[in-house]
Amino acid sequence: MVFPTIEFAIFFPIVLALSWALMKRQWAWKPFILAASYVFYSAANPLFCLLIGALTLSNQAAAKLIHRSDDDRYRKRVVVAAVVLDLGTLGVFKYYGFFATETNGLLDKVGLGLPLPLAAIALPVGISFIVFQAISYAVDVYRRQIEPASTIDFGLYLSFFPHLVAGPIVRAKEFIPQLARPRDPAKVAVGAGVFLIVIGLVKKVAIADFLAREIVDPVFGVPQAYSAPDVLLASYAYAVQIFCDFSGYTDIAIGLALLMGFVFPQNFDRPYRARTFREFWRRWHMTLSRFLRDFLYIPLGGNRGGKLKTARNLMLTMVLGGLWHGAAWGFVLWGFIHGAALVIENVFRERMRWSPPGWLKWAIVFHIVVLAWIPFRAPDLDLAATFVSRLADWGPATLWSVPVVGVVALVIGLQLLPNKPLDAMRVSFERLHPAALGASMAVVIVLVTATISSQGVPPFIYFQF
């Protein structure tokens, strides 16, 4: 089920009303929300619910075993087994086809006719997010940062529908404590929730889908047909599209959770205003960068052990982070560019006495980020190379229009502004009467749905990850 659809517009009000009606009776509320979340997920494919169920039971069993034991070696073996199982699940569903194809190609080149069997395996929606959250639970129990939750609480943590398919990646220690007691019906951030839902809808439907339709999809599909002005604008437009698409989803997810009384972590904080790559990763997909830091970069050694090891750890973290997005060389290259940028940035920071002006640092970081999105978006590396090569072919601007250029400039420009005016707008909105909030939401939905093409709402980009 996708958020901006009629099905979800029917599903959510019913679930919201019943959720608050049952809130004081936790024995009924928890199974109800668990069932609602599975219904939400089953809209994609009911069989995928079995997968979440299996991940829930296996990680819960591992957490219980880890918690019961004082033997460190045993605890370590169990947590390693749990992580291997989780990553194995991810590997089978997400990477097997890629691995088999690439391996077969390699074997063929060296003359070894031992092809691996190719299998078309359906990718469960949001599998990467679900697996990461399962890992965070098992590892946090192993690290004694949390105690194992009840099975139903852990099941709810993994499947809670607002964050089920595309995050944010909520850590077990952030969510499970919120299940310890009923949410307070006298303290619901209604205004903030509605504001985020409204902003998220505008970002996704009115901006991201508009840019995809008008410039990004045509140019990235057949870059040979366009010259530098269109290709340049398409690369900026994709940077805006993916931000609005993904942060729009996150805004809606956080807003829905707020209406249900839950708080999710922030995932974006105006990333295109970053002046360093380190800052970019504190602003972009914050819950993923936090996960990679805590579960990959630091266990690899982090910045302990010298400059070379730090560089190696950064590169490994970013390349694997790229690969997390999907089984394709474009994602690997995207991760490599970011990893290399972080390493080079560290070297410059340590060795350069002169610091460039802020605007120059921003321009460099922003344009490398935009460049890195090209292999991320392009269907394959050949087309990514073609896309970049078209930047040298100056010709007519066929796709430039006032709305497209205006939207791209507006979204990037708003990120460069201070937060105050936007915060003031949010606070004014939050002060509205509940009926006025509802009416405002309806008006925005009507306006936003008017911009939907007859093809419907495309899925969120991050659903495929």
Partner 1 sequence: MSDKNPFILDRPTGRSLRARDAIACVFVAVLMLLVVKGQSIRSEGEKMDSGIERAVVLAVGHPAGWAADRIGLGDDVDRLTASLSPDDELSGPGGFDETAATGSSSKAVAPVTQDAFDPAALGEKPARLDKLNTLVATGDSLVQPLDVELARRLAPDGVKTLRDARLGTGISKSDLLDWGRLAVSQVRKQTPDAVVFFLGANEGFPFEAAGGKVVGCCGPAWAAQYATRARQMMQTYRQDADARVYWLLLPMPRDPDRQTIARAVNAAIIAAAQPYRAQVRVIDMAAVFTPGGRYRASMPVGGRATIVREPDGIHLNKAGSKVAADIVIGRLKSDFESLR
Give the residue numbers annotated as catalytic, written as ranges.
325
Please identify, among the stretches 86-94, 368-376, 413-421, 434-442, the one whose residues bind partner 1 according to the rule CB under 8 A.
434-442
Distance CA 312, CA 343 (A): 9
Distance CA 55, CA 127 (A): 10
| DSSP letters spanning 250-306 | HHHHHHHHHHTT-------S-GGG-SSHHHHHHHSSHHHHHHHIIIIITTTTTT-S-
Please identify, among the stretches 82-90, 186-194, 355-363, 413-421, the one whose residues bind partner 1 according to the rule CB under 8 A.
186-194
Q: Which is nearer to partner 1, 11 or 96 (CB)?
A: 11
Residue 107 within binding range of partner 1, rule CB under 8 A: no
Distance CA 175, CA 153 (A): 9
Q: Which is nearer to partner 1, 352 or 450 (CB)?
A: 450
Q: Please work out, in degrees rounded to the nearest 5, the angle formed at the alpha carbon of residue 135 by the alpha carbons of 132 and 137.
A: 115
Distance CA 464, CA 447 (A): 27
Distance CA 274, CA 364 (A): 10
State in angstroms the smallest separation of the CB of 446 from partner 1: 6
Site track 207-246 with partner 1 (rule: CB under 8 A), x = hit: ---x--x---------------------------------
Residue 30 within binding range of partner 1, rule CB under 8 A: no
Q: Which is nearer to partner 1, 128 or 346 (CB)?
A: 346
Let me know: does 66 contact 142? Beta carbons within 8 Å. Answer: yes
Let me know: does 141 contact 231? Beta carbons within 8 Å. Answer: no
Distance CA 422, CA 26 (A): 38
In the window 282-321, what residues touch partner 1 (CB under 8 A)? 282, 286-287, 289-290, 292-293, 297-298, 302-303, 314, 317
What DSSP designation does 417 have? S
Please identify, among the stretches 136-144, 279-287, 324-332, 394-402, the one whose residues bind partner 1 according to the rule CB under 8 A.
279-287
- What are phi and psi for residue 431, nearest 5 degrees? -80, -10
Please identify, among the stretches 103-111, 116-124, 410-418, 428-436, the one whose residues bind partner 1 according to the rule CB under 8 A.
428-436
Residue that the structure tokens 């490398």 belong to: 368
Residue from 51, 81, 123, 189 in contact with partner 1 (CB under 8 A): 189
Q: Which residues bind partner 1 (CB under 8 A)?
A: 6-7, 9-10, 12-13, 16-17, 20, 23, 43, 174, 183, 185-195, 210, 213, 258-259, 261, 263, 265-266, 269, 278, 281-282, 286-287, 289-290, 292-293, 297-298, 302-303, 314, 317, 342, 426-427, 430-431, 434-435, 437-439, 441-443, 445-447, 449-454
